[in-house]
């Protein structure tokens, strides 16, 4: 029901409606010079928003709507790490969009704010930021909170970032390995990553019970939650549950470490008073060691890439490398190391021609 009345020199419209609890509420807007202006505005509200309650939601700022959407659709349904990413997006929304309301969000305004964000962030970061906001706004569109999609055809740009070195070459890999002190816990974690290609959480999940010292085999069937300290966790995927062979030197080093530290059978090797080292600390140790040796800077995860690259260059099949890394399928390995595979393919083509030329 809509009613109109004059308040002083201006007109006001009043729309009566029921909220979700069945309680009657009123939506009032005033300041119209003519009654016809008030009638036009009220008609637009009723036309654009099938349910006047949704108009109330359109009065929310983008930040407040995103926060409400986050609690409704993401809390409890995504991992803690993913939820933290959404929460970080909310923080940026408050900084970039301020108190801009959903009903005032146009395509040009949205693009302007995304461009502003892109001035100080990489393309990948901007793309993720936009993707998460868009997901919330598409739900708002489905619920008739907004009448069009302000994120449609958004152009994503970003700050240019110098590509980082992802892996060491064979000689640098060997130099690093030969200069790590296996008696030092942090150095040993780096060493294991370099010679096995294991993920950080997988390494922290190693217990003496996982090692078959007589045959030099290591069973990888769990990880350790070093971020939230909840203990053992499942592996990343089913393919990550695997058994990998170790060289005799690595087997001996791990056996000596277990004996020196009297590690119980089902206790992770690298806990100190029940706490595992955080990845930032290990990355710092790795950086210091690489600088000391005059080697290129890579991250701890780069050791995994290094291990895979070395194996591929040494002629190990993509299938075997994929299984050793615990990839969910061989396609993941092929796409990740496509540049290496193409380089090796060119070498193979030369070998094929040389063989045929001898006929």
pLDDT of 50 reads 44
> For residues 129 and 111, what is the distance between their CA atoms, to the nearest angstrom?
12
Q: Given this model, what pLDDT does residue 12 score?
A: 85
Could you tell me the residue range of the domain that residue 126 belongs to? 62-142
Supply the DSSP string of 61-121, one letter for each residue. BHHHHHHHHHHHHTTTTS-HHHHHHHHHHHHHHHHHHTT-BGGG--HHHHHHHHHHHHTTS
Which of left, alpha, beta for 233 (phi over 0: left; psi -120 to 50: alpha)?
Answer: beta
| 196 and 110 part of one domain | no
Q: How many domains does the chain have?
A: 3
Joined tokens for residue 165: 């070195």
> What does the alpha-carbon distance between residue 246 and residue 185 come to, in Å, rounded to a whole number?
19
Q: Identify whether 205 is part of a domain.
A: yes
Q: Are residues 302 and 209 in the same domain?
A: yes
- Does the residue 357 lie in any domain? no
Picking from 104, 125, 142, the residue at the C-terminal end of a domain is: 142
Cα–Cα dist 227/312, whole Å: 32
Considering the domain architecture, whether residues 190 and 320 belong to the same structural domain is answered as yes
- Specify the pLDDT at position 21: 59
Residue 8 has a pLDDT of 86
Nearest to 222 by CA among 201, 196, 208, 243: 201
**Under 8 Å between Cβ of 54 and 144:** yes
pLDDT tens by residue, the chain, 359 residues:
678 888 888 888 787 766 655 677 777 788 888 888 888 877 766 555 445 445 457 788 999 999 989 988 898 888 888 899 999 999 999 999 999 999 899 999 999 999 999 999 999 999 999 999 999 999 888 888 888 999 999 999 998 866 677 899 999 999 999 999 999 999 999 999 999 999 999 999 999 999 998 999 999 999 999 888 899 999 999 999 999 999 999 999 999 999 999 999 999 999 988 899 999 999 999 999 999 999 999 999 999 999 999 999 999 999 999 999 999 999 999 999 998 988 888 888 888 888 888 87
Does some domain include residue 84?
A: yes
Picking from 122, 142, 162, the residue at the C-terminal end of a domain is 142
Q: Is 91 found in the same domain as 34?
A: no
Both 135 and 284 in one domain: the answer is no
Q: In what order do the strands lie in the sheet with 242-245?
A: 211-212, 217-220, 242-245
φ, ψ dihedrals at 66, nearest 5°: -65, -40
| 359 domain-assigned | no
pLDDT of res. 52: 43
The whole-number pLDDT of residue 20 equals 57
Query: In this structure, are strands 217-220 and 211-212 parallel, antiparallel, or unpaired?
Result: antiparallel
DSSP letter, residue 240: G
The domain that holds 265 is classified in CATH as: 1.10.443.10
Verify that 74 and 219 share a domain, yes or no: no
Do 178 and 319 lie in one domain? The reply is: yes
**Which burial class, exposed, middle or buried, applies to 291 when counting CB atoms under 10 A from its CB (0-12, 13-18, 19+)?**
exposed
Q: Is residue 331 a part of any domain in this protein?
A: yes
- Tell me, yes or no, whether 239 and 114 share the same domain: no
State the pLDDT at residue 351: 83
Q: Are residues 202 and 122 in the same domain?
A: no
Instruction: Give the residue from 205, 234, 231 showing the smallest Cα distance to 218.
Output: 205
Kindly state whether residue 247 falls inside one of the protein's structural domains: yes
- Tell me the sheet residues that pair with 232: 224
CATH code for position 102? 1.10.150.130
Residues 136 and 256 occupy one common structural domain: no
Hey, what's the torsion of the CAs at 169, 170, 172, 178, to 10 degrees? 150
Same domain, 212 and 337: yes
Q: Would you call 214 helix, strand, or coil by DSSP? A: coil
Asked whether residue 356 is assigned to any structural domain, the reply reads no
246 found inside a domain: yes
Q: Could you tell me if 176 and 232 lie in one domain?
A: yes
Q: Give the containing element (helix H, strand E) for 357.
A: helix 338-357
């Amino acid at each position: 029901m809509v009613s109109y009345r004059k308040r002083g020199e201006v007109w006001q419209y009043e729309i009566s409606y029921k909220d979700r609890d069945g309680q009657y509420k009123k939506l009032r807007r005033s300041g119209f010079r003519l009654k016809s202006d008030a009638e036009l505005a009220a008609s637009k509200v009723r036309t654009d928003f099938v349910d006047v309650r949704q108009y109330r939601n359109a009065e929310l700022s983008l930040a407040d709507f995103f926060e409400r959407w986050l609690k409704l659709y993401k809390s409890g349904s995504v991992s803690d790490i993913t939820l933290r990413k959404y929460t970080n997006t909310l923080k940026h929304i408050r900084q970039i969009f301020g108190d801009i309301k959903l009903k005032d969000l146009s395509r040009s305004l949205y693009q302007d704010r995304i461009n502003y964000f892109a001035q100080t962030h990489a393309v990948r970061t901007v793309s993720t930021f936009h993707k998460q906001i868009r997901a919330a706004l598409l739900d708002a569109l489905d619920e008739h909170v907004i009448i069009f999609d302000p994120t449609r055809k958004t152009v994503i740009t970003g700050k240019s970032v110098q590509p980082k070195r992802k892996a060491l070459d064979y000689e640098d890999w060997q130099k690093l390995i030969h200069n790590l002190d296996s008696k030092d816990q942090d150095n040993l974690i780096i060493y294991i990553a370099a010679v096995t290609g294991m993920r950080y959480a997988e390494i922290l999940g190693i217990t003496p019970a996982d090692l078959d010292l007589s045959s030099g085999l290591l069973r990888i069937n769990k990880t350790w939650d070093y971020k939230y300290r909840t203990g053992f966790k499942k592996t990343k995927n089913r393919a990550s549950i695997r058994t990998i062979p170790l060289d005799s030197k690595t087997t001996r080093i791990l056996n000596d470490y277990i004996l020196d530290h009297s590690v119980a059978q089902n206790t992770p090797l690298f806990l100190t008073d029940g706490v595992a080292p955080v990845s930032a600390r290990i990355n710092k140790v790795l950086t210091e060691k690489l600088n000391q040796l005059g080697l290129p800077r890579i991250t701890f995860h780069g050791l995994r890439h290094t291990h895979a690259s070395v194996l591929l260059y040494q002629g190990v099949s993509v299938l075997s490398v994929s299984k050793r890394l615990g990839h969910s399928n061989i396609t993941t390995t092929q796409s990740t190391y496509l540049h290496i595979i193409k380089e090796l393919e060119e070498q193979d083509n030369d070998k094929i021609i040389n063989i045929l030329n001898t006929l």
